[in-house]
Amino acid sequence: MIPPEFEYLRPATIPEAVSLLQLHGDDAKILSGGQSLIPMMKLRLARPAWLIDINHIPGLAYIREEGGYLKIGGLTREADVENSELIRAKYPIVHDTALVIADPQVRNLATMGGNLAHGDPANDHGATMLALEAELVATGANGQRTIAVRDFFLSIFTTALEQDEILTEIRIPVPAARSGGTYLKLERKVGDFATAAVAAQVTLDASGACTKAGIGVTNAGPTPIKAGKAEAFLRGKRLDAASVAQAAELAMGESQPSSDLRGPAEYKKGLVKELTKRALTRAAERAGR
Amino acid sequence: MAKTHHIHIRLNGVEKEADVAPRLLLIHFIRDVAGQTGTHLGCDTTSCGACTVLLDGRPIKSCTFFAVQADGREIRTVEGLASDGKLHPIQEGFHQEHGLQCGFCTPGMMLSAVALLEKNPNPTEAEIRWGISGNLCRCTGYQNIVKAVQHAAAKMQKGVSA
Amino acid sequence: MMQTSPEIGGMGHSVKRKEDARFIQGKGTYVDDVHLPGMVYGHVVRSPYGHARLKSINIEAAMKVPGALAVITGADLAAANLAWMPTLFHDKQMVLATGKVLFQAQEVAFAVATEQYAAADMAELVEVEYEELPVLVDPHKALDADAPILREDREEKSNHIFHWEVGDRHETQKAIQGGPVTAKVDAVFQRCHPAPLETCGCVADFNKVTGKLTIWLTSQAPHAHRTLFALVGGIPEQNIRVISPDIGGGFGNKVPIYPGYVCAVVASLTLGRPVKWIESRSENLQSTGFARDYHMTAEIAAERDGTVKALRVKTLADHGAFNAAAQPSKFPAGLFSICTGSYDFPKAFCEVDGVYTNKAPGGIAYRCSFRVTEAAYLIERAMDVLAYELKMDPAALRLKNFIPPDKFPYQCPLGWTYDSGNYPAAMNLALKMAGYDELRKEQAEKRKKGELMGIGISSFTEIVGAGPAHTFDIVGIKMFDSCEIRIHPTGKAIARLGTKSQGQGHETTFPQIIAQELGIPQQDIVLEEGDTDTAPYGLGTYASRSTPVAGGATAMASRKIRDKARKIAAHLLEVSEEDLEWEPGKFFVKGAPSKAKTIQEIAFAAYTNLPAGMEAGLEAVHYYDPPNLTFPFGTYICVVDIDKGTGEVKVRRFIAVDDCGNIINPMIVEGQIHGGLTEGLAIAFMQLIGYDESGNVQGGNFMDYLLPTAVETPNWETGKTCTPSPHHPIGAKGVGESPNVGSPAAFVNAVVDALSHLGVRHIDMPVTSWKVWQILQQHGIA
């Protein structure tokens, strides 16, 4: 499979990349990890006339805590997220997520920014970022702006990023004490997209009651789904079998999967329920119920 | 025709330079421009890993990477595993443990394994299976590949302690 | 059989593979690695429709691509009478479409350019106008009165290809009506694909000066392909050289001749330049030989004590657009009539109807001997269903009905003569390895707790080694195979065979046979195959036939050499031939073992010091026509756990006891078993080439046609028994396919077993999580 021809551009700075995006408009695409874009080009489903390779822009790949946030640079490779000790220790839900994205080779190139900016509801980080209430930093001609992740995913392959914006940073609020989370994905085999997956992050108070719950669902609708009703239901409740089951039921109701080779919609709804149950239980354990 | 780019790639320790079209995939650079055919193409969906090479030491799928992206970087393929006529322990492991049959996936599989062992010199079986999960093999059922990687790990450990 | 020393390395030694050296250093030569001066590239234009009339093809835009050389269409081929080619089974198929297309991804045109990238660009720019026609995808509707007739080229205006039956219809029906216990299962063996990691391809190089056509080809049968190119293309056979270089897995996929090969040859003949065509993975899955697609029903009648009385099998075979079943038996359904399996059925009847649909052609023998996988799967599923009807343990039911060891050679009711077997021995070993009784106890306890665990058994019998000339041929060519051995003056040797390894390790194993027979150390013997200019004629490697057929040829050729060596040794030792005794590596005088001549000394003498009147040299060739097929067998036991919440099935253990007769190289046999079991796992749980109602292929790439990774693949526990083939020169039977033939039923039986207390009797493959979950839902368990 051979991609169609394109012109290759290699800006050295973000402003340069942004001005190239402005110059070439919809005919241009950002080349980050390329692990979704290049396969689509090889199938000739995507045919940008211009590829703007941002991999040579310094300072876009980092993982650090700063100002109450975990900040991850848009160009940070999934493998680096997976291998980060900080993330493994303090943000296990993010570690869980990175670990099940595609396969080891793909994770060595794929970037966290690209995963989100692609706007594919089957991509894994979306659900986790929804559960964590992350913020995304978009850099464009007028500088930076911050987009709450719940406002980011508009429809399939469409995000709140403007044509001339680049997703440069992911900001995850540093979790409060007694917080825990996980990402559970059912896939047909390693490398597959999720048949369904659920991200859950909870914070408990001293009594064990849930002060905050975040639940995101992968590949169960036109965008990653935030299970807001389930989240609201859990607030103030102890995470016992009954409340977890009820929340799982609500999350299932909020998901909108469609039937495909991974299974009928009915099955995927059932999976959302089951995985929500398991994810909440695990999240609560990690929070130190 | 798209503008070509003059690129330099250090391939198995040797500097290669060429004018390439932007769309030239790295696998085709390695096989057709550099003439090193040990790296294979087995699918068109970034699934099989037969084309795995090391980019600055990390395994990537060279069918999903443009040659122009590798400009100024270091690529290692199966041809770069043995040194001074001496097989790499992973190559010995595959031979000793019958870790290959048709041989088509073997180069990519070995490179994934080498990267795994460089990161984790003493992996568990589960870690090995996870580490090679981006490489498909149709012949061996993986069991002897796992043994081959264990063989290499033991050999490399011995090399370190010696 | 006498075990030779490790230095000789004859049969039974786990000799490390000779071919490894080049593969682990990236120095294999697969077809895509062949690069010739002036080589150009072809790219196939394919139909997006499952059934459509071809209105027009416009190549103008394509020919404007820089580097464009030609676009070949069906009309061009028709002018040379090459638009159609014969299949291997009494049908013909289009090389490039004329008139209409009959399946999605069918070959419509062939674009040729100086560069690979340009050829791809050209293919995209070839404008083809289609008029869509009604699509037929359901084989059950193929014979309906309102079904569209797909094949306008045939005289019969019907989608029916063949009806074939064997056995006693009347007696079987009577027995089944009589019961007293009957079991019935409807089982689909889904359309799947061998998907070797290397796709198909070729480099065709026609030299206009010498008139010689050389084709580097991904071929499991290079000699047969040479003859077919000669017969179809009208090129004198001496002017065709087919070279099968290293092959990156075959599994039956590389037995047929595909349109892309023919197009590349035509392009090379036209342009006078070497033309390379390598298909993409999607093209491989969507257009080259699929396997299975058998829609089967089995009914068994039995006594109340479990003794089986009769088996009746009815099957609908979906062959796609052309009957391109690559199988050389004289029977339209190949060896499917082995469906009585390992059991002593007094009566049996089997019928098969083949139909055309708008799907890719094929029906190839994917790691099996021509429908034996379908047969083994069906009988092993049906025996489990019978066990449930009888409330009998499936192992006990099998043990009760096995063909007894003393009944071999065994004449089965559908006409085969099984060479040898000891089925209880293999099963008892497997039960012991598994700890079967303990597992059943554990299952019962788990059930009480509401947990789902299953144990699946498959006691398959294989039929391999095509084959005896009376039953098999390819376009009339008998299914022998060949070996030519030349011993050099220094006692080293070269052997050439008519087979072609695709990963089976022939370069290691065949020298071991010669080492066994002649005592020449295996490392002193070089093996070559795959070049039709040098190797003796043979029919190739598939259907586990290399060891049963070419292995026989190798032993027989070695023995011819030994016979001559005996004469030379007698001359050298100045005794009569009758006074000599042989042990691997030397002849010695009876009663005086120190008076001996080694095979190396004899080889030297063959060129330097011959008896008067004897021809110089020490070489032989043998073409071996086996008297019968061989019948490997085994028992597989699979243990699964089911996640009730998600429907996921986890294979906890898999025990495989194989009996393939005498073993040449235990290490390689075990490797074959690991690989075949993994392919069986994929078929049972993951793989399907499906079509939607519009004829769009689903599962046409590796995103959706799933190959298990190391993570999904369990550890395999292997064991063996040894029942040599009585008719085979070295008592071997062949093993490459057994694990793929025997395992699907073990996997499915295990899942059904886990759910059997709910009344579940069958689940069609692939047994996906969602299918299991739906069953659990229906029973209020998920």
The pLDDT of residue A250 is: 98
Angle at A146 between CA A145 and CA A147, to 5 degrees: 120
pLDDT in tens, A60-110: 999 999 999 999 999 999 999 999 999 999 999 999 999 999 999 999 999
Which DSSP string do the residues of C571-619 spell out, in sequence order? HHHTS-GGGEEEETTEEEETTEEEEEEEHHHHHHHHHHSPPTTPPS--E
- Is residue C737 annotated as part of the catalytic site, yes or no? yes
pLDDT in tens, C336-349: 999 999 999 999 99
The pLDDT of residue B24 is: 98
Measured between CB atoms, which of C282, C699, C709 is closest to A189? C709
Query: Of B50, B80, B110, at which residue does a domain stop?
Result: B80
Model confidence at A289, in pLDDT bands (50, 70, 90)? low
The per-residue pLDDT of chain B, averaged, comes to 96
C265 and C345 fall within a common domain? no
Instruction: Give the ipTM of the model, two decimals please.
Output: 0.98
C456 and C601 fall within a common domain? no
Residues of A in contact with C712 (CB under 8 A): 189-190
Q: Say if the Cβ atoms of A31 and B5 lie within 8 Å.
A: no
Mapped to the 3 state alphabet, what secondary structure does C371-434 carry? CHHHHHHHHHHHHHHHHHHHCCCHHHHHHHHECCHHHCCEECCCCCEECCCCHHHHHHHHHHHH
Selecting among C273, C367, C381, C653, the annotated active-site residue is C367
Model confidence at C686, in pLDDT bands (50, 70, 90)? very high
pLDDT in tens, C452-505: 999 999 999 999 998 888 889 888 889 999 999 999 999 999 999 999 999 999
Burial class (CB in 10 A: 0-12, 13-18, 19+), C27: middle
C607 and C640 fall within a common domain? no
In a domain, residue A2? The reply is no
C221 and C95 fall within a common domain? yes
If residue B155 lies in a helix (H) or strand (E), which one and from where to where? helix B143-161
For residue A52, give its domain range: 7-56
Query: Of B45, B80, B115, at which residue does a domain stop?
Result: B80
Residues of A in contact with B134 (CB under 8 A): 102-106, 190-191
Are C747 and C681 a contacting pair, CB within 8 Å? Answer: yes
Q: What is the CATH number of the domain that holds B17?
A: 3.10.20.30
C108 and C235 fall within a common domain? yes
Q: Is the CB of residue A47 less than 8 Å away from at least one CB of chain B?
A: no
Measured between CB atoms, which of A44, A188, A192 is closest to C124? A44
In the predicted model, is pLDDT for residue C1 greater than 90? Answer: no
Are A103 and B52 a contacting pair, CB within 8 Å? Answer: no
Cα gap B64→C371, rounded to integer Å:
38
C509 and C574 fall within a common domain? yes
A68 and A48 fall within a common domain? no
Query: Of A116, A150, A173, at which residue does a domain stop?
Result: A173
| C340-359 CB burial, b ≥16 within 10 A, e <16 | bbbbbbebbbbbbbbbbbbb
Q: Which B positions 76-95 lie with beta carbon below 8 A of chain C?
A: 77-79, 81-82, 87, 91, 94-95
Show the tokens assigned to B36: 């090193």
Q: Say if the Cβ atoms of B134 and A31 lie within 8 Å.
A: no
Q: How far is CA B62 from CA A34, B46, C28, in A?
A: 12, 9, 19
In this structure, what are the phi and psi dihedrals at residue A87, rounded to the nearest 5 degrees?
-70, -40
A198 and A233 fall within a common domain? yes
Q: What mean pLDDT do residues B44-69 have? A: 98
In the predicted model, is pLDDT for residue B160 greater than 80? Answer: no
Q: What mean pLDDT do residues A153-159 have? A: 97
Residues of A in contact with B23 (CB under 8 A): 2-6, 41
Query: Of B31, B48, B80, at which residue does a domain stop?
Result: B80
B14 and B70 fall within a common domain? yes
B112 and B132 fall within a common domain? yes
In the predicted model, is pLDDT for residue B92 greater than 60? Answer: yes
In a domain, residue C163? The reply is no
C341 and C435 fall within a common domain? yes
Model confidence at C223, in pLDDT bands (50, 70, 90)? very high
Tell me the nearest-neighbour CA distance from B109 into chain C, angstroms.
Answer: 10
Q: Say if the Cβ atoms of C706 and A189 lie within 8 Å.
A: yes
A12 and A68 fall within a common domain? no
Best probe of the A interface among B69, B77, B110, by most A CBs < 10 A, is B69
C383 and C243 fall within a common domain? no
Query: Of A17, A36, A56, at which residue does a domain stop?
Result: A56
Task: Please name the residue of chain B whose CA is at the shortest distance from the CA of residue C36.
Answer: B32
Q: What is the CATH number of the domain that holds A52?
A: 3.30.43.10
With a CB cutoff of 8 Å and minimum separation 6, the contacts of C58 are C126, C127, C128, C129
With a CB cutoff of 8 Å and minimum separation 6, the contacts of C81 are none
Q: Which A positions 52-111 lie with beta carbon below 8 A of chain B?
A: 53, 55, 79, 102-106, 108-109
In a domain, residue C14? The reply is no
Nearest alpha carbon to residue C342 among C372, C364, C368 = C372
C432 and C569 fall within a common domain? no
- Is residue C220 annotated as part of the catalytic site, yes or no? yes
User: Angle at which helices C222-233 and C259-271 pack, to 10 degrees?
Assistant: 60
Task: Please name the residue of chain B whose CA is at the shortest distance from the CA of residue C679.
Answer: B138
C484 and C610 fall within a common domain? yes
Quick count: other Cβ atoms within 10 Å of Cβ C757?
13
Number of domain units in chain A: 3
Selecting among C200, C350, C368, C412, the annotated active-site residue is C368
Q: Is the CB of residue B142 less than 8 Å away from at least one CB of chain A?
A: no
Q: What is the CATH number of the domain that holds C264?
A: 3.90.1170.50
Are C668 and C777 a contacting pair, CB within 8 Å? Answer: no
Residues of B in contact with C700 (CB under 8 A): none
Neighbors of chain C by Cβ distance (3+ pairs < 8 Å): A, B
In the predicted model, is pLDDT for residue B162 greater than 60? Answer: no
A187 and A263 fall within a common domain? yes
The pLDDT of residue A138 is: 98
B96 and B54 fall within a common domain? no
The per-residue pLDDT of chain A, averaged, comes to 97
Q: Say if the Cβ atoms of B87 and C24 lie within 8 Å.
A: yes
Q: What is the CATH number of the domain that holds A82?
A: 3.30.465.10
Residues of C in contact with B48 (CB under 8 A): 197, 281, 702, 707
Q: How far is CA C612 from CA C616, C622, C700, in A?
A: 10, 25, 67
Q: Say if the Cβ atoms of B68 and A8 lie within 8 Å.
A: yes
- Is residue C169 annotated as part of the catalytic site, yes or no? no
Q: What mean pLDDT do residues B131-146 have? A: 98
Query: Of C597, C624, C651, at which residue does a domain stop?
Result: C624
Cα gap A135→C412, rounded to integer Å:
72
In a domain, residue A84? The reply is yes
Q: Say if the Cβ atoms of A262 and C773 lie within 8 Å.
A: no
Q: Say if the Cβ atoms of B134 and A105 lie within 8 Å.
A: yes
Query: Which is it for strands A28-31 and A50-53: parallel, antiparallel or unpaired?
Result: parallel
**How many CA atoms within 13 Å lie on the side-chain side of C701?**
15
In a domain, residue A212? The reply is yes
Beta bridge partners of C315: C296, C352
Q: Based on C-alpha coordinates, what's the Rg of chain A?
A: 19
In a domain, residue A12? The reply is yes
Q: Say if the Cβ atoms of C249 and B102 lie within 8 Å.
A: yes
B94 and B31 fall within a common domain? no
Query: Of A173, A196, A225, at which residue does a domain stop?
Result: A173
Q: Say if the Cβ atoms of B131 and A42 lie within 8 Å.
A: no
Are A113 and A168 a contacting pair, CB within 8 Å? Answer: yes
The pLDDT of residue B161 is: 59
For residue B100, give its domain range: 89-161
Q: What is the largest CA-CA distance in chain A?
A: 61
Are B76 and B54 a contacting pair, CB within 8 Å? Answer: yes
A50 and A93 fall within a common domain? no
Nearest alpha carbon to residue B94 among B117, B63, B71, B61 = B117
Q: What is the CATH number of the domain that holds C633?
A: 3.30.365.10
Residues of A in contact with B63 (CB under 8 A): 42
Type of residue found at C9: G
Q: DSSP state, C527? A: E
Number of domain units in chain C: 3
B10 and B76 fall within a common domain? yes
- Is residue C516 annotated as part of the catalytic site, yes or no? no
In a domain, residue C13? The reply is no
Residue entry with tokens 């065979």: C497
B109 and B68 fall within a common domain? no
B66 and B12 fall within a common domain? yes
In a domain, residue C1? The reply is no
B76 and B93 fall within a common domain? no
Q: What mean pLDDT do residues C674-692 have? A: 98
Q: Is the CB of residue B23 less than 8 Å away from at least one CB of chain A?
A: yes
Selecting among C93, C104, C106, C220, the annotated active-site residue is C220
For residue C354, give its domain range: 290-394+405-410+422-466+628-778
pLDDT in tens, C305-331: 999 999 999 999 999 999 998 888 889
CA C247 to chain centre: 14
In a domain, residue C190? The reply is no
C454 and C309 fall within a common domain? yes
A137 and A87 fall within a common domain? yes
Measured between CB atoms, which of A4, A188, A264 is closest to C706? A188
The pLDDT of residue A273 is: 98
Query: Of C624, C646, C680, at which residue does a domain stop?
Result: C624
A11 and A36 fall within a common domain? yes
Size of interface A-C (CB pairs under 8 A): 61
Number of domain units in chain B: 2
Q: Is B156 helix (H, G, I), strand (E, B) or coil?
A: helix
A168 and A72 fall within a common domain? yes
Q: How far is CA C608 from CA C249, C582, C603, in A?
A: 44, 22, 9
C237 and C282 fall within a common domain? yes
Residues of C in contact with A271 (CB under 8 A): 646, 773
A187 and A268 fall within a common domain? yes
